[in-house]
Structures are given as C-alpha cells and as structure tokens.
Amino acid sequence: MEFKKINTLKVVCQVFKIIGIVLVVQSTIVVLALAFIMPSVKNDLGNEGVVMTLAPFGMFFFGWASTIVFFVGIYKLIFNAYRISYKNYFAHKVLSKYLKEYKYAQRHTELANEIEELIKSTGMIADANLFKTEDYITGTYNGVEFTQADFHPRGIRGMRDPAVFRGRWLVFKFPKRFTHRVGIIGRNYGFVSWGKNAGMFTDGKFKRFEVESSEFNKRFIVLAEDGPEAFYILDPSLIEKIQKLGEKYERKIVICFSDNYLQIGINDGVDLFEPSKKLTLLSEEKEFAKLDAEVQPIMDLVDSLGLSKKVFMAN
C-alpha cells in the first residue's frame, strides 16, 4: 500500500512537471512571435500601435507567469512529499535486511553537529564555509558502532571547484584509542592542488610518510602526526586491505584514524536514497536493488578491513 502511494505521488509530480514545461514552451513561442511581428506593427501603426498591441499581452503574460509560478510551487511541494515517502519506505526496507538495530533520519540537527565536529577534528576537510550533511544512519554491524551520512562541504579556499566532496562519510567507533592522527588519501581522490589552503590536512601538524609497499605509495598518500603510530597502524595486512578497498572505489577515498574513531570518506557522488525523477513508474524490485547497493559500503568496510577483529576492538 505504501509503495502504491509513492508511485501515485510520482505520477502527480510528473503531471505538474509536464504542465509546467508546456506552459513555459507556449510562453516562449508567444514571445518569439511578438518579437517577429513587432517591427511590422511599428512600421504600419507607429509607437502607439506597438503600445496598443503589447498592452493586452502584458496582462496576459502577468497571468501566465503567475500560473507557471503556481504550478512550480505545487510541483515542489508534491515532489518533497514523494521524496520523503520514498526515503522512509526504502531506507527501512533495505537497512532492516542487514542491521538488527539502527536509526535513520533524513534530517537531524544533533547528529549533523556531531558528525561535523568529528570531520573537522580530523583536519581532513578544512576551511569549509558550509558543511551539508543528511540521510543519517547509526547502528551496529558485527559489533562495530557506526554513523554514516551524505556529506557535501562547499566553499573551501584554494580550490578551483568549490564542491570538493560529494559522497558518503562513515565514522566507526572503537574501544581502542589512536594516540595520533593518521590519514590515507587515494591519489584519484579528486583534489586539484596540495597547497597550504587546498582543504586537506591543512592544520600544519601532519607530515608525509611512505610505507614499505611501493605499490601502495603509488596509489595512496600517507600523512601522520607521528611516524611510529603510522607504521604501527599500517601493518602489511591493513595495507593490502586498503589497496583492495581503493581499487573497488577507484581510490576516491580518504581515511583517518583519530582518537576512538576510524573515519572514511568516499567521494563517489552518491546521494543516499534519492528517488528517480524519470517519467516512468517505479519498480519496487529495481529500486530495492539500487538502494541495496548504495548501503553496501557500511558492511563492506567493516568486513574488508576486519574492523570487528581484536586489533581494533581491544581497549
């Protein structure tokens, strides 16, 4: 029943969208027609003729524009209802498949503040004017506490593109504490500069290190506050796991060990649980498959990095 309601809202959205497009196209045709005939009117009737011709069209266009604004406003209201219903329905349907206990919220002020402070504490994304997060998932998988959110910081100084990250940000919490920050950045991450204000590790406390694996050094950059801590964390086993993870996500990843947290950003452009805007009706099976793939990184990171093992869980 809930899914039928979602499809009904989608159909209504599309109807209003099509009407809005038709109105815009019609008004454009009328404007072009007026632009075509005005020179002839001016030549035949002079300026007074132009005024007499345009006066009724002015009233017409005022009403036309008001109608377009009305339809656009209604479309946005219905689309918002459709989007909320879609997210709530599929989020719980997909997450309950893998997690016994979890919480999901599209908007959450407390979680937004918490994850923003955690991200800032890593020094990974610096000098952002705006931290936009949404679609929060908190829970436990294989004994590992996690929080995930869509993350899109904007306005970072020194970057040619102000949108430097668009993807998901995951925070895993452990009893174990990492005494110094250690960061790993995939060389395909997407940053265009590594200057002082590049927006990545800019607080001056990080130094660059290389590990024993030359292949790893070709694919990743390691920065840390303390060399021994970096080499202790990045043992050969974890290096191999991160390499495999990097290949899977095309090295568009950034990783930071800090305090009791492992934070991982995946710069893949995914907005979690976003509904389709296409004109076709939704297929519940296809939507479930698409969104199921979107939440896989939660389980994938815990399993592939072995986050539930003693090396991370030991206090």
Span 2-28, pLDDT tens digits: 888 898 888 888 887 787 777 777 777
If pLDDT is split at 50, 70 and 90, which confidence band does 298 have?
A: very high
Residue 236 has pLDDT above 60, yes or no: yes
Q: What is the pLDDT of residues 59-80, one digit of tens each?
A: 566 666 777 777 778 888 888 8
CA dihedral 257, 227, 185, 94 (to 10 degrees): -20
Task: Give the angle subtended at the CA of 209 by the CAs of 308 and 146, to the nearest 5°.
Answer: 25
Lowest mean pLDDT among 104-113, 207-216, 270-279, 304-313: 304-313
If pLDDT is split at 50, 70 and 90, which confidence band does 140 have?
A: very high
Domain boundaries of the chain, sorted by first residue: 1-97, 99-313
Cα–Cα dist 121/115, whole Å: 10
pLDDT, mean of residues 262-290: 88
Query: Quick count: other Cβ atoms within 10 Å of Cβ 137?
Result: 23
pLDDT, mean of residues 141-161: 76
Cβ–Cβ < 8 Å for 146, 173:
yes
Q: Which two tokens stand for residue 246?
A: 């990097």
User: Which residues does 241 contact at the CB level (< 8 Å), separation at least 6?
Assistant: 304, 305, 306
